[in-house]
Amino acid sequence: MPDEDVEISGEVDIGLVKDVGAFSFKALQKAKSMVKVGIRLIDVADAVEGLLKENGYTPAFPLNLSVNNEAAHYTPTLNDEKVFREGDLVKVDFGAAKDGILGDNAVTVDLGGNNSALIQAAEEAVAAGVATVKAGVEVGRVGRAIEEAITRRGFRPIKNLGGHGVEVHDLHASVFIPNYDNKDDTTLEEGQVIAIEPFATDGKRELVVESDICEIFSFYGEVPVRHPIARKIQSELSSNYKSEPFAARWLSNVAATRFELYSGLTELYRAGALERYPILVLPEGSMVAQHEVEVLVEKDSCSVLTK
């Protein structure tokens, strides 16, 4: 464990960072336990996001439940009836937030039993990355350790996804942690909080692309809009979702129908008020496994916060 006097970058309280990390892990394990064949994705999201709110936290981002060739950013839609199916490979990615401190961790659940080696590759990649992290190490070296762990199992790392720095109200801050050796000589600093986040695939393509579907957004700030529903949504965002990403379904209280909700969001996006996070996918037939932990960089090693 890190010494209580270790100073986090940005002078953030280590006790709060550890607290948020621990509850992020607890919420992730709750979500993992609920991922079963026949269960609705929306029921998992409602339960786990609600768990945070019941305990004095808020979501750092909407619960991600990305299935099979979806690598990231699937969160249930408004009135979503999608259920988990036999054979699904489910990436569960989530984190808690409190006072701007953000947690982030992920695990993969195999509902068919056919992808254990792929999951193991992602888990071993996290372990390899964590073992490499310390102050002064180059991020390309961390990426090399991750890549070697994945390819050793016969799989490929997804090269345009990776880990990242975590700062106050900023989940993807500063440093990027590659999942392969990209030769980046940026060095890690003592006190940084970072996420180690390998994605492994059994497919031939190593780069994800954006799909046409987007359910997660973040709010930049108020802009002039004409449509009444867009103004109503913007007011709700300004009051309650200024900092962290939000799910479209969280706005059901301000839109009477799906058409109203998505029309308002579209107008706000076109006006420059929103950033979009579309679902990231590989070609149909490819499978993706993800594993992620958040760590504190120390002088000679690192400590896992999400545990």
Q: Which helix (H) or strand (E) element contains residue 167?
A: strand 163-167
**Whole-angstrom distance, CA of residue 289 vs CA of residue 109:** 9
Angle between helices 14-34 and 41-54 (to 10 degrees): 150
CB 116 within 8 A of CB 110: yes
Catalytic annotation, residues? 93, 104, 164, 172, 197, 292
* Number of Cβ atoms within 10 Å of the Cβ of 209: 13
Residues whose CB falls within 8 Å of the CB of residue 98, separated by 6 or more in sequence, listed in order: 16, 19, 20, 56, 57, 58
Strands 288-290 vs 280-281: parallel, antiparallel or unpaired: unpaired
**Whole-angstrom distance, CA of residue 61 vs CA of residue 290:** 17
Q: Between vectors from CA 204 to CA 202 and to CA 207, what angle results, nearest 5°? A: 100
Provide φ and ψ at 172, rounded to 5°: -120, 75
Give the DSSP per-residue string, 233-259.
HHHHHHHH-SSS-EEGGGGGGG-SSHH
Strands 96-98 vs 101-102: parallel, antiparallel or unpaired: antiparallel
110 burial level (CB within 10 Å; 0-12, 13-18, 19+): middle
CB 162 within 8 A of CB 196: no
Q: Could you tell me the CA-to-CA distances from 80 to 70, 74, 76, 161 in Å, in that order?
A: 17, 12, 6, 27
Sign of CA dihedral 57, 177, 63, 262: positive
